[in-house]
């Protein structure tokens, strides 16, 4: 007999919003060197870290089905989701989870590359999306052969315009509260030929399509393009919002975290892991790193870092397990995210996520922060696994 899922179809996700009190988010920033011993990370309960938890079930329709959340964007009114591995499309949901529209039919606008095959063999796929909060458009970065094309859509899914760029550019955008946008772009001209480093990372501050400030190349040893052995780090490092006009910036293979504002960029945190967990200096090049069999080694790579108040959420890539840590800047304590137990605050539901895709739970970190909340998700079927099938059948709504 075919297995039935009474709560939600297999591919529908639940967004989790992990929230903090407003007073908590005020913290006097200062530069620090932070020592992290993963084996000393403790557990705890949801209420030890978060003040409230909201569960947003995404509406299940035939049109809204997708397999993974590879990128999440949160606007004032919408959740914008990129699934570029299974359905290769962009979906837009209201803040209550109701499905709005999908960007998937590109006929007449661009090569019809969208399909149910992960990473189309001819190199046509959606690489990255961003939201322009000044012009209220979704920007879609498409890699197609040797051309990198950016498409702009409105929130109804209508194509507005497209711009072609040279292959080898990789971009990330982040909106600040003052309507400035931070543009991080990395160029690696020879990466796809011989995997040698010839790259730089640059920060531009954009306001209404005009560049108002630029910063020198950053961490040239760690280009934004970092794809090897089937692992793509686009969702796991780069820019994260902190507060107001402040963002954090981190790179794969680097243990430094930068603070970015419209007027300056400076090193804010330096992580020190136990010696046996450091990335060897001999691997600090694309050519060497691309041949490195990461799944055979225990090395940890500090990548995406999110800050809310005095808490740092550190995405340290460890292929074994326990790869997200919460560091308290006030008392130096460290919490293992996967060891946080549900309690009344989370309605006795787990908050562990599967933010790097797939329908099975895995502790992979967080999508983003808006300065007051952390966003993550897991498949709807995971709730059935927590409740048991019989209890799940009787559940009509999720508390929020």
Determine the pLDDT at residue 398: 47
Position 155 confidence tier, pLDDT thresholds 50, 70, 90: very high
Helix, strand, or coil here: 73?
A: strand
Residue 181 host element (H or E): strand 181-188
Pair type for strands 231-232 and 227-228: antiparallel
Residue 119: is its pLDDT beyond 60?
no
Stretch 35-40: mean pLDDT: 86
Between 209 and 394, the higher pLDDT residue: 209
CA 120/CA 389 separation, integer angstroms: 37
* Poorest-pLDDT segment among 18-27, 157-166, 350-359, 389-398: 389-398
The whole model's pTM is what? 0.80
Note whether 257 and 239 are within 8 A (CB): no
pLDDT band at 286 (very low <50, low <70, confident <90, very high): low
Nearest alpha-carbon partner for 41 in 375, 333, 391: 333
Q: What are phi and psi of 287, to 5 degrees?
A: -60, -45
pLDDT at 390: 47
Confidence of residue 23 (pLDDT cuts 50, 70, 90): low
331 contacts 340 by C-beta, under 8 angstroms: no
**pLDDT tier for residue 235 given thresholds of 50, 70 and 90:** very low
Rounded distance between C-alpha atoms, residue 46 and residue 53, angstroms: 9
- The CB-side HSE value for 13 (13 A sphere, CA atoms) comes to 33
Contact of 17 with 369, CB cutoff 8 Å? no
Contact 85, 234 (CB under 8 A): no
Q: Which residues of 322-338 are buried (b: 16+ CB within 10 A; e: fewer)?
A: bbbbbbebeeeebbbbb
Under the banding of pLDDT at 50, 70 and 90, the label for residue 385 is low
Q: What is the DSSP string of 304-359?
A: EEEEETTEEEEEEE-SSS--EEEEETTT--EEEEEEEEP-GGGTT------TTSSS
**Token pair of 255 as six digits:** 């243990």
pLDDT for residue 71: 86
The predicted structure's pLDDT at residue 79:
95
pLDDT in tens, 170-209: 678 889 988 888 888 766 554 444 444 445 567 888 887 7
pLDDT at 45: 94
Lowest mean pLDDT across 28-37, 47-56, 99-108: 99-108
pLDDT, residue 151, reads 84
Residue showing tokens 């702009």: 152
pLDDT digits (tens, 9 = 90+) for 48-97: 999 999 988 898 888 888 877 888 999 999 999 988 777 888 999 999 99
| Dist. CA 369–CA 361, nearest whole Å | 21
Q: Which of 119-133, 182-196, 383-397 has the highest mean pLDDT?
A: 119-133
The tokens for 270 are 């330096």
Query: Which pLDDT score, from 0 to 100, does residue 388 have?
Result: 59
Give the pLDDT of residue 34: 92
Q: Is the separation of the CB atoms in 335 and 41 below 8 Å?
A: yes
> Measured between alpha carbons, how far is residue 105 from residues 70, 149, 164, 356 in Å?
19, 16, 19, 25
Class of the 13-393 domain? Answer: mainly beta
Whether residue 47 is predicted with pLDDT greater than 90 in this model: the reply is: yes
Tokens representing residue 110 in the block: 């661009």
What is the structure's pLDDT at 317? 64
Structural element, H or E, at residue 145: none
């Amino acid at each position: 007999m075919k297995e039935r899922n009474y709560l939600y179809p297999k591919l529908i996700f639940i967004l989790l919003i992990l929230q903090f009190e407003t007073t908590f988010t005020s913290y006097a920033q200062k530069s620090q060197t932070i020592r992290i011993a993963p084996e000393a990370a403790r557990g705890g309960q949801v209420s030890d870290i978060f003040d409230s938890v909201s569960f947003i079930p995404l509406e299940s329709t035939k049109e809204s089905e997708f397999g993974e959340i590879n990128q999440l964007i949160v606007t004032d009114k919408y959740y914008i989701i990129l699934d570029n591995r299974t359905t290769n499309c962009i979906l837009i949901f209201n803040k209550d989870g109701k499905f709005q529209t999908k960007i998937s039919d590109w006929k007449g606008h661009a090569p019809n590359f969208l399909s149910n095959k992960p990473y189309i063999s001819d190199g046509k796929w959606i690489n990255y999306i961003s939201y322009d909060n000044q012009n209220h458009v979704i920007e879609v970065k498409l890699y197609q052969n040797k051309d990198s094309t950016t498409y702009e859509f409105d929130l109804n899914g209508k194509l507005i315009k497209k711009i072609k760029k040279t292959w080898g550019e990789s971009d990330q955008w982040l909106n600040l509260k003052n309507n400035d946008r931070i543009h991080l772009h990395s160029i690696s001209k020879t990466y796809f030929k011989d995997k040698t480093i010839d790259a730089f990372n640059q920060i531009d501050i954009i306001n209404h399509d005009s560049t108002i400030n630029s910063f020198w190349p950053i961490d040239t040893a760690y280009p934004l393009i970092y794809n090897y052995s089937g692992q793509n780090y686009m969702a796991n490092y780069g820019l994260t919002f902190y507060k107001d006009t402040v963002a954090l910036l981190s790179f794969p293979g680097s243990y430094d975290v930068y603070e970015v504002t419209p007027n300056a960029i400076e090193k804010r945190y330096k992580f020190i892991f136990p010696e046996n967990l450091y990335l060897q200096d001999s691997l600090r090049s694309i050519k060497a790193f691309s041949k490195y069999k990461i799944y055979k080694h225990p090395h940890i790579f500090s990548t995406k870092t999110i800050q809310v108040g005095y808490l740092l959420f550190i995405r340290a890539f460890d292929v074994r397990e326990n790869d997200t840590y919460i560091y308290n800047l006030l008392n130096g304590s460290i919490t293992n995210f996967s060891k946080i137990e549900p309690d009344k605050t989370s309605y006795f539901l787990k908050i562990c996520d599967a933010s790097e895709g797939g329908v099975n739970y895995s502790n992979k970190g967080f999508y983003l922060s808006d300065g007051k909340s952390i966003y993550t998700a897991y498949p709807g079927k995971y709730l059935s696994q927590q409740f048991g099938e019989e209890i799940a059948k009787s559940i009509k709504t999720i508390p929020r």
